Amino acid sequence: MLLTLTTTHRPATDLGYLLVKHPDKVHTADLPTGTAYVLYPEATEERCTAALLLDVDPQRLRGRADAFALGQFVNDRPYAASSLLAGALNKVFRSALRGRSKDRPELAERALPLELRVPVLRGTPELAERLFTPLGWRVVATPIPLDDVPETHPLAGPSPYIDLVLTGTIRVADALNHLYVLLPVLDDAKHYWVAPDEIDKLLRSGEGWLAGHPEKVLITRRYLAHRKSMAASALEQLDQADPDSVDAPADTATDEEAELPVARRQSLAEQRRDAIVAALREAGAARVLDLGCGGGALLGALLKDSHFAEIVGVDVSSRALDLAERRLRLDRMPERKRARLKLFQSALTYRDDRLRGYDAAVLMEVIEHLDPPRLPALAASVLGHAQPATVVVTTPNAEYNVRYEGLTGLRHSDHRFEWTRAEFGGWARSTAEAYGYAVEMRGVGEIDEALGTPTQMAIFRKEESA
Residue ranges in contact with ligand SAH by CB under 6 A: 240, 292-294, 297, 315-317, 320, 347-349, 364-366, 369-370
Of the pair 56, 348, the CB lying nearest ligand SAH is at 348
CB of 384 to ligand SAH, least distance (A): 15
CB of 275 to ligand SAH, least distance (A): 12
Q: How far is CA 274 from the centre of its chain?
A: 21
CB of 421 to ligand SAH, least distance (A): 20
Of the pair 183, 348, the CB lying nearest ligand SAH is at 348
Of the pair 6, 240, the CB lying nearest ligand SAH is at 240
Of the pair 165, 291, the CB lying nearest ligand SAH is at 291
In 181-245 the beta strands, taken as DSSP E runs, fall at: none
Q: How far is CA 76 from the centre of its chain?
A: 31
Residue whose C-alpha is closest to residue 288's, from 386, 164, 198, 195: 386
Give Rg (Cα) of the chain: 25
Neighbours of 257 (CB within 10 A): 20
Of the pair 280, 320, the CB lying nearest ligand SAH is at 320
Neighbours of 144 (CB within 10 A): 15
Beta-sheet strand order (sheet of 360-364): 341-345, 310-315, 287-291, 360-364, 390-396, 455-462, 437-444
CB of 161 to ligand SAH, least distance (A): 41
Of the pair 4, 431, the CB lying nearest ligand SAH is at 431
Of the pair 129, 274, the CB lying nearest ligand SAH is at 274
* Nearest residue to ligand SAH, scored by beta-carbon proximity: 294
CB of 370 to ligand SAH, least distance (A): 5
| Burial of 385: CB neighbours in 10 Å, binned 0-12, 13-18, 19+ | middle
CB of 180 to ligand SAH, least distance (A): 25
39 bridge partner residues:
51
Pure H helices in 27-82: 58-61, 67-71
Q: SS3 for 435?
A: helix
Residue whose C-alpha is closest to residue 20's, from 91, 86, 93, 90: 93
178-205: b (≥16 Cβ within 10 Å) or e: bbbbbbbbbbbbbbbebeeebbeebbeb
Q: What is the largest CA-CA distance in the chain?
A: 91
Q: Which uninterrupted H or E stretch holds 218?
A: helix 216-223
CB of 302 to ligand SAH, least distance (A): 12
Report the alpha-carbon distance of residue 21 to residue 92 in Å, rounded: 9
CB of 93 to ligand SAH, least distance (A): 29
CB of 399 to ligand SAH, least distance (A): 20
Tell how strand 390-396 and strand 360-364 pair up.
parallel
Of the pair 315, 359, the CB lying nearest ligand SAH is at 315
Q: Give the amino acid at 418.
A: E
CB of 85 to ligand SAH, least distance (A): 34
